[in-house]
Amino acid sequence: MCGIIGYTGKLEAQNVLIDGLSRLEYRGYDSAGIAYFRENIAHISIRKTAGKVKDLRSVCDKVNPSTCGIGHTRWATHGGVSTTNAHPHRVGQVALIHNGIIENYAAITEKFNLGDELQSETDTEVGAALLNHFYSQDHDPKSAIRKAVAEIKGSFAFGILFEDRPGEIYAVRNVSPMVAAYDPEIGAFIASDVTAFIEHTNRYFVVPEYAVVALSPNGIEVEDLKGQKLTPEFMTVDWDLTAAEKDGYPHFMLKEIHEQPAAITQTITPRIADGLPDFSQDGVSDAFFEGVRDVTIIACGTAMYAGMVGAEFIQNHLGLPVTVSIASEFRYARPVIDKDSMVIVVSQSGETIDTLEALRLAKKYTDRTLSIVNVKASSIARESHYVVYTHAGPEIAVASTKAYTVQVATMFLLGFKLGLASGRLTEDEARDRVAALKAMPAHMEEVLAYENQVKELTSRMINAHDAFYIGRGLDYRVAMEGALKLKEISYIHAEAYAAGELKHGTISLIEKGVPVIAIANQQPVYEKMISNIREVKARDAFVILISKDKAVHDPSICNVHLSIPDVPDDFTVFETAVLCQLIGYYTSVGKGLDPDQPRNLAKSVTVE
C-alpha cells in the first residue's frame, strides 16, 4: 500500500527517486510524485500527477541537478485518485510522503485548527500541516516529529523535507514498513522496501518503530523518541537487481510463475536433513512440534489459500484438527486457542496489517506461533516466536504465484515434522513424502512446458463473464486459489466450488460456454468428480479438465484436457497451481490487461 523513497547524496535525486518508484509501483499505482530541493537550495519543488510512474516522468524536468528528495507512489485510501490528492503534500515549510493511515486526522484538524491549510481530501495533508505547526514553533525537525507522532493514531511511514534544511531528509514510522541504507560513495536512502534502492546498495536496516531517522549525504542518524541514539542492525540482501527485473519476460507475473521450481528447491533444501524434515537451521527445536493439540493457520488472500491446502493436508494425514482463519476475521473474533495450539501465520510480505494484528492477538494465548514469510526481517517475521523464511526472492507482480507454492511446500514440510513429532507418521512414511516433495520442482518444469497450450485455450475464456473452478478435497482447495488468480487479473467473476456442492444451487449458473476448470486428481473421489463434471458438461459448460490421466477422449467429459505428470495425489497441487496461474495470466493478457498491475489492487496490504 503506497511506496515511498527518499534519497540524499551524490547522484541526481530525480533519477534515483523515479527509478526507485518504478520498482515500488507494485505497492500502488494510482498517482505518483516527488519533492526535492531545487538547485540544492532552501526551496522545495514538487512534481506530481494522477497516473503511473511513467506519467510522473513526463511532468518532471528533463534535467534536474537536485541531489536530495522524496518520492511516492499511491494506493488511494482517503480521497479519490487525483493530482491534488497525490503525494508529496506540502504545507508551509513541510513536504511529506506517507504510507499508512492517520486514523484521527479529523480530530487533529480540529484540535490544531488546521482546516484552512488543507487543499486535498487526504489524511496525509493533515500530517504535513501538523508537522508544519510544530516546526514553526522552534524550527527543530526532530522535536516537530516527536510532537507530531505523539498526536497521531494509526499507521505511518513518513518521509519529510523541511524547506530550510536542504540536503536533509527525516523519517519516522509506526507499523508501516520502512528500510534505510547508506553508502559513503553514493548517499543515504529510505524506502518501503529494498527493491527501491537495490541498484545502489544491498546493505540496509529495518527502521525501528517510533525511531526518528535523519538522513544527510554524510550518513544516517537514528534515535528514539527520547533522543537516545540507536545503533541500527545492518543486513545484506541475498538477491540482486536482476531478481527485481523482468529479465526478458513480458511481465513479472510470468517470470515469477517460471521461477517456482527453483524457489521451491531453495526453500525446502535447507529444511531437509538425511531425507527428513528439519527446521533446526531456523532455530525451531523439536520440542516446538511436540504435544501440539491443534493447529490454527492465519493469513489473507493467496496466503490463506495456501493455508487451506496445508490444513487439508495436515488434517487428513495426521488427524490433527486444523482451522484456517482469515486474519481480518480472526482478529475481531474470540480465539479458541491455548498453549497447546500451534499458530502458523502465513504472509509473503510479512507486513499485511490484519495478519500482523492477528499474530499479536494469537500471542496472547500461545507461545507457539510460527510464521512462514518471504520478506526478511519484516514485522510478522520479527514478531512471531519462530519464522521459517521462504526463499522465493522478491515477488513483484501483484498477483502472488511463487510465494503461494513455496508456502504450500513449507506447510507440507511442517506437516511431515508434526506427523513425526506426534507419532502419526513413521520415519519411512516421512522419508517417502519428503522425496516426493523434492521431485516436485522437476514436475512443475514439465507442466510449464504446456504454456502454449494454455495460452491457446484462454481464447475461449476472454469473453466469459463467469468461470467456475471445481474439485474435491485438496483439488477444491487449489481451485480457490485458481479462481482468485483469474478474477484479480482478468476481472472475470470466478468461483471455486466443492464439486459435490454444485447441485445444491450453483449449477443453475451453468449455461452454454461457461468455462469450468475441473480438477480431478484425488483418486479416492475420482469417479465422483467425473460424475460432477458430466453434470456441468451436460449443461454445455466449456470444461477444461486437469487430471493425471494420460489422455481423455470422451467429449462428454471435457473440451480440453490438461494432463499432468503422475505424482502422489497430494502433490498434484503444485502442478495444478502452475496451470491455474497460467490460465489466469494468459486470460488477462488475452484481454489486453496488465496482469502485473490489476486495477484497484496493491501488494502488501498495510491498511485494514
Active-site residue set = 2, 603
Contacts of residue 562, defined as CB under 8 A and 6 or more positions apart, other chains included, come to: 450, 453, 454, 544, 545, 546, 547, 579
List b or e across 254-278, with b for residues whose CB sees 16 or more CB atoms inside 10 angstroms.
Answer: bbbbbbbbbbbbbbbeebbeeebbb
Q: How far is the CB of 99 from ligand F6R (least distance, A)?
A: 15
DSSP codes joined into one string, 78-138? SS-SSTTTSSPEEETTEEEEEEEEETTHHHHHHHTT-GGG--SS-HHHHHHHHHHHHHHHH
CA 546 to chain centre: 27
Q: How far is the CB of 158 from ligand F6R (least distance, A)?
A: 22
Alpha-carbon distance of 152 to 146, in angstroms, equals 10
Alpha-carbon distance of 42 to 36, in angstroms, equals 10
166: phi then psi, degrees, rounded to nearest 5:
-60, 140
Q: How far is the CB of 307 from ligand F6R (least distance, A)?
A: 10
Chain contacts with ligand F6R (rule: CB under 6 A): 300-303, 347-349, 352, 355, 399-400, 484, 488, 604-605
| Nearer of residues 44 and 353 to ligand F6R, judged by Cβ | 353
CB 210 within 8 A of CB 176: no
Q: Indicate the SS3 state at residue 408.
A: helix
Alpha-carbon distance of 34 to 30, in angstroms, equals 14
| Nearer of residues 18 and 303 to ligand F6R, judged by Cβ | 303
Q: How far is the CB of 301 from ligand F6R (least distance, A)?
A: 2
Where does residue 253 rank: exposed (0-12), middle (13-18), buried (19+ CB within 10 A)?
buried
| Nearer of residues 49 and 581 to ligand F6R, judged by Cβ | 581
Q: How far is the CB of 383 from ligand F6R (least distance, A)?
A: 13
| Nearer of residues 125 and 193 to ligand F6R, judged by Cβ | 193
Q: Which three cell numbers stand for residue 52?
A: 503511473
Q: Indicate the SS3 state at residue 449.
A: coil
Alpha-carbon distance of 585 to 434, in angstroms, equals 30
| Nearer of residues 348 and 522 to ligand F6R, judged by Cβ | 348
Q: How far is the CB of 577 from ligand F6R (least distance, A)?
A: 12
Q: How far is the CB of 351 from ligand F6R (least distance, A)?
A: 7
Cis peptide upstream of residue 88 (ω within 30 degrees of 0): yes
| Nearer of residues 109 and 604 to ligand F6R, judged by Cβ | 604
CB 355 within 8 A of CB 303: yes
- H-only helix segments in 118-222: 123-138, 141-151
| Nearer of residues 33 and 598 to ligand F6R, judged by Cβ | 598
